Amino acid sequence: MNKPKRYTITTALPYTNGPIHIGHLAGVYVPADIYARYLRLTGNDVAFIGGSDEHGVPITIKAKNEGVSPQDVVDKYHAIIKKSFEDFGITYDNYSRTTAPIHHETASEFFKTLNEKGEFIEETTEQLYDEDANQFLADRFVTGRCPKCGNEDAYGDQCENCGTSLNATDLINPKSALTGNVPTLKQTKHWFLPLDKHESFLKEWILEGHKKDWKPNVYGQCKSWIDDGLRPRAVTRDLDWGIPVPAEGGEGKVLYVWFDAPIGYISSTKEWAAREGKDWEPYWKDKDTKLVHFIGKDNIVFHCIIFPAMLKAEGSYILPDNVPANEFLNLEGNKLSTSKNWAVWLPEYLEDFPGQQDVLRYALNANAPETKDNDFTWKDFQARNNNELVAIFGNFINRVVVLTNKYYEGIVPEPAEFNEVDEETLASVKAYPDVIASSIERYRFREAGQELMNLARLGNKYLADAEPWKVIKEDEARTKTIMYVALQIASALATLSEPFLPFTSEKLKNILNITSSALETSWNEVSTKKELLPAGHQIGKAELLFSKIEDDTIQKQLDKLEASKKANEAANKTVEPQKDTIAFDDFTKLDIRVGTILEAEKMPKTKKLLKLKVDTGIDTRTIVSGIAESFTAEDVIGKRVTVLVNLAPRALRGVESQGMILMTETPEGKLVFVNPDDASVGNGLQIS
């Protein structure tokens, strides 16, 4: 389409059963905010819409575990999440919630419209029912053995061990999470959206229409789903927490959270429009509106297949122009996990790094998982700050402001004649808005952020090559020109950095004294204005935009993660139950001695076995031990060990093994020798 008249930008609704962490920020909210800020700076009509997802089974489980109501849970975390977004400069035009009356009304009307148009299928199916709790069991209220991998603690919707999507009725030996009872099957009626009915439309719209402009990870996942064949999907559930089903026979049922949550974008837009005195409908129903969904890869199917099918079925809504979903962000080599506290929580980050929101925004964007899963490390975070924000961006601005105050008492000097380098530099500055914009408009936010840093690099190189601190001793007119050009670069950075570094941008504008409407520069004016800072303009004093982050500060964060890892290991530690009681006489039959491994070699054609020659103090004997997956032969030579010497000999792969080495196992499955740690304990001494 031609240039849109307006933009509707949505972000995945965060689930309100906990605070948000850096994975959420990197995957969804920073790129969306960069996009929205850029569009506003270029004079576009933007509705940047968000909100909290407050229905669904995990919230009811959390409420039950904490002895509070579901509303108490969502009220608590909605406030925490909303504040985190405000703290990190995510500039929503409206941030709503799905428990709001306007959302209940909007979602109910949407359901009724589709139902009256005959867009649903009503089916009676058998679902698991807890007789003692007197209720149907939602997916997360059922656990059992995964039919694919055998995990005994799989949920009714997914096995978290192997990742397989499940239905509760697929589980082997299912149990109710409410009472622990074995559930029964009971008939219940539900409404289904027949996705198969929309398959040909989705093929044409996505597989043909968006083959070239959607990201490969998004297009690929959609193609896989469509090629596999689409099937009807339930839009209602047997629950008491959610939006009641507005249809005959819907008593005791609510709208499935995946159905009501995306409608939250529409209800949030309505809420914003009512407050601002606007008409909400053009932002969702006008073909000249560009709709963009920012999400993580776990939400691709909902936003590219299911929600568009809902909108198409309703008939009056536009469809998303793009869904630039990101992959996942890992933390120090491991998957982010809220349950294992393997995360960097935004409220905690601000406690440890007060006033340094932009550092995290920059580091996350520079390492964003745009096309593949990426890893956040504290060392990279430190390097991005020290080597780029401090050494390049901050260094350039500080030198310019300090020298302007030193030479001209903070007044922008009148330039003399521009030489070729000056003109090339100013021309390069004017090109940057289009360069950065091109990357942003193609959703390449990492690339866009690096182009911004390249502008700061240009400034540093210009100053380093021009050397005004030397030139001023012999050519004052030339020095004025150099500083004038450098100040134009600084002013361009103040404007172009706003989408990426909003707090820094504001601080820099204050330093340069360009916050008044007469001097504030729009994005496009960086290219078109003859000058950004006029001669004679008074700037302020220098302030450090960024400060170096020391090693000990980073080590504290690594220590915090290590503590989480150890706590998880302790919590997940399983101890084998005690074996049957034996008599003292049985124990005295065991002859356990201290020994030393003299020789070791890998047994041929085996994965686990090492052939050991062991000095037991009473003899030298051969013992075959299944430790080769934890140790090499070279690892164990000279190792002091504990040996059961009076075990009956046993032939293993043709070798007679005369004893057993005592071992234990870590939670990760690595074998560890059980041995004496006192050097004075010699071979052959008995252990009793």
What tens digit of pLDDT does each residue of 551-593 get? Answer: 999 999 999 999 988 887 666 565 566 777 888 878 888 999 9
- Separation of first and last alpha carbons in the chain: 84
| CA nearest neighbour of 621 among 610, 630, 612 | 612
Q: Which residues contact 426 (CB under 8 A, 6 or more apart)?
A: 418, 485, 488
**Six token digits for residue 440:** 């942003």
122 with 247: CB under 8 angstroms?
Answer: no
Q: Choose among 46, 652, 518, 86: nearest CA to 290.
A: 46
Of the listed ranges 136-150, 303-317, 350-364, 418-432, the least confidently predicted one is: 136-150
**What is the CB neighbour count within 10 angstroms for residue 221?**
17
Tokens found for residue 397: 């601005």
Residue 497 has pLDDT above 70, yes or no: yes
Grouping H, G, I as helix, E, B as strand and the rest as coil, residue 421 is: helix
Distances (CA, A) of 264 to 12, 98, 267: 10, 6, 5
How far lies 603's CA from each of 81, 263, 661, 665, in Å? 57, 63, 16, 22
DSSP letter at 158 equals: B
- Output the pLDDT for position 681: 77
pLDDT category at 165 given cuts 50, 70, 90 is low
What pLDDT sits at residue 629?
87
pLDDT one-digit tens code per residue, 425-467: 999 999 999 999 999 999 999 999 999 999 999 999 999 999 9
Contact predicate 293/8, CB 8 Å: no
Region 361-375: mean pLDDT is: 95
d(CA 69, CA 74): 9
- The C-alpha atoms of residue 467 and residue 478 are separated, in whole angstroms, by 11
Average pLDDT over residues 98-118: 98
Model-level pTM? 0.83
Beta bridge partners of 614: 597, 621
What is the rounded average pLDDT for all residues in the chain?
Answer: 92
Instruction: Write out the DSSP string of 77-110.
Output: HHHHHHHHHHHTT---SEEEETTSHHHHHHHHHH
Q: Give the CA distances from residue 413 to residues 408, 409, 525, in Å, rounded to whole numbers and listed in that order.
A: 7, 10, 21
Kindly tell me if the per-residue pLDDT of 370 is higher than 90: yes
Q: What is the structure's pLDDT at 499? A: 98
**One-letter amino acid identity for 665?**
E
Would you give the distance in Å from CA 678 to the centre of its chain?
48
| 484 within 8 A of 414, measured Cβ to Cβ | yes
Q: What is the rounded distance in angstroms from the CA atom of residue 678 to the CA atom of residue 259? A: 66
| Whole-number Cα distances in Å, 646 to 530, 586, 660, 681 | 94, 13, 9, 20
Main-chain dihedrals φ then ψ at residue 229, nearest 5 degrees: 95, 125
pLDDT at res. 240: 87
Phi, psi (deg, nearest 5) at residue 686: -80, 150
Looking at residue 650, the DSSP 8-state letter turns out to be E
Using the predicted structure, report yes or no on whether residue 677 has a pLDDT greater than 70: no
Residue 132, classed as helix, strand or coil, is coil
pLDDT at 597 over 80: yes
Chain position carrying tokens 């904490």:
66
Residue 132: Cβ within 10 Å count: 11
Residue 169 — pLDDT band, cuts 50, 70, 90?
Answer: confident
Q: Which two tokens stand for residue 615?
A: 């000095």
Q: Which residue has the higher pLDDT, 626 or 46?
A: 46
240: left (phi over 0), alpha (psi -120 to 50) or beta: alpha
For residues 188 and 127, give the distance between their C-alpha atoms in angstroms, rounded to a whole number: 7
Look at residues 22, 46, 529 and name the one whose alpha carbon lies nearest to residue 272.
46
Q: Are 160 and 207 in contact (CB under 8 A)?
A: no
- Token pair 């047994």 is found at 603
Residue 573: the pLDDT is 61
pLDDT at 404 over 60: yes
Question: What is the C-alpha to C-alpha distance for residues 435 and 494, in angstroms, rounded to an integer?
Answer: 16
- Where is average pLDDT lowest: 76-90, 252-266, 455-469, 642-656? 642-656
Q: Are strands 650-652 and 121-130 parallel, antiparallel or unpaired?
A: unpaired
Amino acid at 216: P
Both structure tokens of 309: 């099918």
| Mean pLDDT score, 624-650 | 91
Average pLDDT of the segment spanning 83-99: 98
d(CA 61, CA 42): 46
Ranking 84-93, 180-189, 290-299, 482-491 by mean pLDDT, the lowest is 180-189
The 10s digit of each residue's pLDDT in 31-66 is: 999 999 999 999 999 999 999 999 988 898 889 889
Q: What is the pLDDT of residues 276-312, one digit of tens each?
A: 999 999 999 999 999 999 999 989 999 999 999 999 9
* CA-closest candidate to residue 95, choices 23, 13, 6, 33: 13
pLDDT confidence of residue 492: 98
Other beta carbons within 10 Å of 75: 17
